Amino acid sequence: MKKFFYKSSVLALAAGVLLTSCDPEIDSPDPSSGTADFSSYLAVGNSLSAGYADGGLYREGQLSSVPAILADQFEEVGGGEFVQPLFSEAQANGTGYLRLVGFTPQGAPITQPVTTNLAIRGLTSRNTPLYTKFTGNINNLAIPGIRVADINTGGYSSAQGNPYFERLTDNATQTYLQYVQAQAQAANHTFFSLWMAENDVLSYATSGGAFSGGMLNSPAQIITPVNTFSQNYTELVNALTAGGKEGVLVTIPDVTAIPFFTTVGNSVKQLLAANKIPAVVALTGSGSSRIVITPAQIDAAEGGVFFPLTASAYAPLFGTRTGRYWRLLARQVSSSQDPVTVNATLAGILANYQIDTTQLFGLSAGNPLPSALVLDAAEQKNIKDATTAFNDIIKAQAAAKGLALWDAYSYFNSIKTGFVKNGVAYSPSFITGNLFSLDGVHLTPRGNAIAANEIINAINAKYGSNVPQVDETQFRAVLLP
């Protein structure tokens, strides 16, 4: 597979070249597969394996997905062809994505959606996109948005289900587990990777726990029950290891430590200080109660509150009389642009949560910040407890089946303060950290390469192989304007 070089920071790259070009040559063992067989590799996962980045799925991201990088390195030790459901060159921008176009005088990034050369073939009855079909046998089965909880859901590939899965199959009743089993049989796979569990806590986290009960209850945005996760994950591993197949499992990182949650807090504190605002009021959980948030609590390690990236658009409205967010929520909930339906939905939401939009937004109990714009301490504990339970299940499956394991949770926790590799600095910081893309959740191509190398380390340690690592500098970080 051809690698591509992308220029993201000339100075940083030049520094890396200067530092590495003088290194003495070191003899390393010849590439070898050890006890593993990489001749037919199958990747199962979610957006992190699909190549999703910058808020969308597009061809460049697909070409630099973690499985694509792994497959490229597996070629050195007998790996075979690796087919991905790539968008065409003519529709290379896929679903659309965000690009960085500049910065405000205060240093905040300015992004714009890419809306040309999309792979959209039509709309559903709910006005959601239908993407260009790619049916047939593939090796990268990753589906953005999928949870372990979803693998046995009938109709998940229908037009009203997951659009990324719908584009891959013509069987509207097929479950994802059935799809994996069919593709595994077609590929006669000898090795697999399974990186799928983040969304079982992430959907709850990114929505601030707002959809976990009450009027806005949404099964897709709650934390998956542990028993459901255990049963489904075990079934998926059993399907992939049938016949003694080998592979690697990946744990869930701490989703509250990603830039999506750690970026906005400082600007909110500055905004409050500049306007001498001592605290803000927010709904919590499903909207059943209200909490008061002081600047000292924002991004605090213990008992703190995180403001997600989505809050950045509403922070400047603190102290104004606005119903902007609630009107947007009403449109989303009603799935309609019909003014009568939207207004009726809005009235129901305002009445249910006792919202008075004539009061000051975020500064009064009558017009608090919506729960979706804050992640409080109780919600963070729910996420931590579930992540620990899910990761214990993943680790137990790896031990029971004799599989390699990359503990992504431990790895990302170990790099919170940053690190330097080949003269380039990396950290979980938004944009400047080089690891995370513009959506603050998914990795850059450079971040994918670094993750792939860590997975290779885990594979080599388990199977006695010597799969060579990739040169991460051959992949870009965030593209600067």
**Averaged pLDDT score across all residues of the chain:** 91
Query: Is it the case that residue 9 has pLDDT exceeding 60?
Result: no
For residue 220, the model assigns a pLDDT of: 83
For residue 214, the model assigns a pLDDT of: 63
Name which of 49-53, 212-216, 328-332 the model is least confident about: 212-216
For residue 10, the model assigns a pLDDT of: 34
Mean pLDDT value across residues 312-323: 92
Distance of CA 81 to the CA centre of its chain: 26
The residue that leads in pLDDT, 322 or 64, is: 64
Q: Cα separation of 91 and 115, whole Å?
A: 11
Name which of 18-22, 73-77, 200-204, 252-256 the model is least confident about: 18-22
- Using one digit for the tens of pLDDT, what is the confidence trace for 136-193? 999 999 999 999 999 999 999 987 789 999 999 999 999 999 999 999 999 999 999 9
Query: Is it the case that residue 121 has pLDDT exceeding 80?
Result: yes
List C-alpha distances in Å: 347 to 31, 341, 353, 367, 369: 65, 10, 10, 14, 17
Give strand pairing partners of 129. 123
Q: What's the pLDDT band for 111 if we cut at 50, 70, 90?
A: very high
Distance of CA 132 to the CA centre of its chain: 22
- For the chain, which residues make up each domain, given as ranges? 10-15+31-259+380-474, 261-377
Distance of CA 100 to the CA centre of its chain: 19
Q: What is the pTM of this model?
A: 0.92
Query: Is it the case that residue 211 has pLDDT exceeding 90?
Result: no
For residue 13, the model assigns a pLDDT of: 35
Q: What CATH number labels 10-15+31-259+380-474?
A: 3.40.50.1110
Burial degree of 401 (CB within 10 A; 0-12, 13-18, 19+): middle
Percent of the chain residues past pLDDT 90, beyond the cut? 82
Q: What's the pLDDT band for 26 if we cut at 50, 70, 90?
A: very low
Q: What's the pLDDT band for 467 if we cut at 50, 70, 90?
A: very high
Label the pairing between strands 129-131 and 280-284.
unpaired
Q: What's the pLDDT band for 103 if we cut at 50, 70, 90?
A: very high
For residue 29, the model assigns a pLDDT of: 78
Helix (H) / strand (E) containing 273:
helix 265-274
For residue 3, the model assigns a pLDDT of: 37
DSSP class of 30: P
Do you know the residue count of the chain? 481
For residue 213, the model assigns a pLDDT of: 66
